[in-house]
Amino acid sequence: MNVYTQFESPLGLVTANANDDGLLGVWFESHKMELSDFGTQADDHPILKLTVLQLQEYFSGERREFSIPLAANGTEFQNKVWKALTTIPYGETWCYKDLAIAVGNPKASQAVGGANGKNPISIIVPCHRVIGKNGSLTGYAGGIDIKQALLELEARS
């Protein structure tokens, strides 16, 4: 059964959804979503409580790594890309080619960009750390302003 919770962050309202296997997604208000897609509200679900705690620690600069079970639904390739995203060190950025190399296919920059853009677990699977080759802030489902804020938060810590 899928469940969700919402909490206020320094970047606005955040929605997290999970099931008993793990975290399914973390969404900002700017994401196009419907709460009805996330199941029922369950603020006391253990994975959601852990997610809220660890995200609050992240926003306060106390946490750089997450220890939350993940259960995002994706293709084999998307899951490979999402796993590679979790290896980008806190406070660092990669370009899409770096990510393509990390998944073992240096010529797949566009494909990894597509998988990166479908990552449902914002922050914890840090797709915000992927930027354009020239250093530009490329698309982010939560909005470029949130991507910039996340990168600035990590640069300060």
* Angle in degrees, CA 35, 40, 11, rounded to 5: 45
pLDDT of residue 127: 95
Q: Which of 3, 54, 49 is nearest to 25 (CA)?
A: 3
Q: Which of 73, 21, 23, 31 is nearest to 48 (CA)?
A: 23
Note whether 55 and 125 are within 8 A (CB): no
pTM value?
0.93
Q: Which residues are catalytic?
A: 127
pLDDT of residue 15: 96
**Residue 95: left if φ>0, alpha if ψ -120 to 50, beta else—which one?**
beta
* Token pair of 93 as six digits: 């950025």
What are the two backbone dihedrals, phi and then psi, of residue 124, each rounded to the nearest 5 degrees? -65, -40
pLDDT of residue 8: 97
pLDDT of residue 79: 96
Q: Name all domains of the chain by residue range, CATH numbers in brackets.
A: 3-60 (no CATH), 76-155 (1.10.10.10)
pLDDT of residue 145: 92
Note whether 126 and 88 are within 8 A (CB): yes
pLDDT of residue 134: 84
Per run of 10 residues, the mean pLDDT along the chain (length 157 residues) is 96 96 93 83 97 98 96 96 97 95 94 94 97 85 90 91
pLDDT of residue 128: 96
